[in-house]
A and B are shown apart, each in its own frame.
Chain A
Amino acid sequence: MEDVTTKTRAKAQADTSLCKGCRLCVGACPKDAIIPLTEMNKKGYEIIRIEEDKCIGCGQCYTICPDYVFSIE
Chain B
Amino acid sequence: MAATMKKPKMINQQVGWCPGCGHGIIQRLIAECCEELDLAERTIQVVDIACAYWSIDTLNCDGIAGPHGRCAAVATGIKKVYPDSNVYVHAGDGCSYVIGLAETCYAAQRNVPITMIVVNNGIFGMTGGQMCPATTLVGDKTVSSKKGRDSHVAGEPFDMLNIIKNYDIAYAARGALYDPKHINATKKMLKKGFENQRDKKGFSIIEILSPCPTNWKMSPVDAMEKIKNENEKVYPIKVYVDNGGEANG
A interface footprint on B1-12 (CB within 8 Å = 1, 0 otherwise): 011111100010
Return chain A residues, CB-CB under 8 Å to B72.
Answer: none
Is B63 close to A, CB under 8 A? no
Q: Does B166 have its Cβ within 8 Å of any Cβ on chain A?
A: no
- Chain B positions 1-29 with a Cβ under 8 Å from a chain A Cβ: 2-7, 11, 14-15, 17-25, 28
Report chain B residues within 8 Å CB of A45.
19
Q: Which residue of B lies closest to A15 (CB)?
A: B7
Taking CB atoms, residues of chain A closer than 8 Å to B177 are 64
Q: Which residue of B lies closest to A23 (CB)?
A: B221
B169 at the binding interface (Cβ < 8 Å): no
| Known contacts A10-B4, A18-B14, A24-B224, A64 near B183 by CB under 8 Å | yes
Report the count of interface residues on B (CB-CB < 8 A). Answer: 29
Whether B243 is near chain A, meaning CB under 8 Å from some CB there, is: no
B220:A63 contact, CB within 8 angstroms: no
Any A CB within 8 A of the CB of B213:
yes
Residues in A whose Cβ lies below 8 Å from that of B179: 28, 64
Q: B7 — which chain A residues lie within 8 A by C-beta?
A: 68, 71
B interface footprint on A53-73 (CB within 8 Å = 1, 0 otherwise): 000010110111111101111
Considering only residues 118-166 of chain B, those with a C-beta below 8 Å from chain A are none
Contact of A73 among B2, B15, B22 (CB under 8 A): B2
Contact B5 A66 (CB under 8 A): no
Q: How far in angstroms is the closest Cβ of chain B from A70?
A: 8
CB of A67 within 8 A of CB of B24, answer yes
Interchain CB contact (< 8 A) of B23 among A26, A66, A73:
A66
Contact with A66, one of B21, B180, B221 (Cβ below 8 angstroms): B21
Interface string of B24-65 (1 = CB under 8 A from A): 110010000000000000000000000000000000000000
Sampled A-B contacts (5; CB under 8 Å): A8-B2, A24-B20, A45-B19, A68-B24, A72-B6
**Chain B interfacial positions (CB closer than 8 Å to A):** 2-7, 11, 14-15, 17-25, 28, 177, 179-180, 183-184, 213, 219-221, 224
- 3 tightest A-B contacts by CB? A66-B24, A22-B20, A20-B19
Residues of A within 8 A of B (CB): 8-10, 18, 20-24, 26-28, 45, 57, 59-60, 62-68, 70-73
